[in-house]
Amino acid sequence: MPQEKPFVFIETCTPRRVLELFSTKWTSMVLYALKCGRLRTGELQRCLPGISKKMLTQTLRELEADGLILRTVYPQVPPKVEYQLTDNGALLIEPIEMLYDWGRRHSELLASLKLRRGKD
């Protein structure tokens, strides 16, 4: 009798969606930056050293399309655009904080992994 695949090996399973969501480098960082409220594009870019304008724009568009952030455009000159978490986006802050906390507690392990990769 063939054995069933474990749940996580099924392409449409929820854990795979979570991993897909966080597989992009900047996704969790943008969501985390927005946890305190509305931010403009320039403010977000200053919060995230190393992100290019192109990558920030792409990440913001993807998060908006997924319904995780809300983009508000104000009718003024010069244009003013702000981003904030939606209720669904706010739900993701808890697992992000858990991952970041785990990373802080295991920084030596993470540093050693990076060092090993750098030597290969």
Domain that includes residue 109, residue range? 7-119
Within a domain: 1? no
Within a domain: 2? no
First-to-last alpha carbon distance for the chain, in angstroms, is 43
Distance CA 41, CA 78 (A): 14
Domain count, the chain: 1
For residues 68 and 88, the answer to whether their CB atoms sit within 8 Å is yes
CATH number at residue 15: 1.10.10.10
Q: What is the mean pLDDT of the segment spanning 26-51?
A: 95
Report pLDDT for 116.
60
Report pLDDT for 119.
52
Within a domain: 112? yes
Q: What is the pTM of this model?
A: 0.82
Within a domain: 71? yes
79, with CB counted inside 10 A (0-12, 13-18, 19+), is exposed
Within a domain: 103? yes
Of the pLDDT bands very low, low, confident and very high (cuts 50, 70, 90), residue 117 is low
Instruction: Report residue 74: phi and psi, to 5°.
Output: -95, 135
Q: What is the mean pLDDT of the segment spanning 1-29?
A: 77
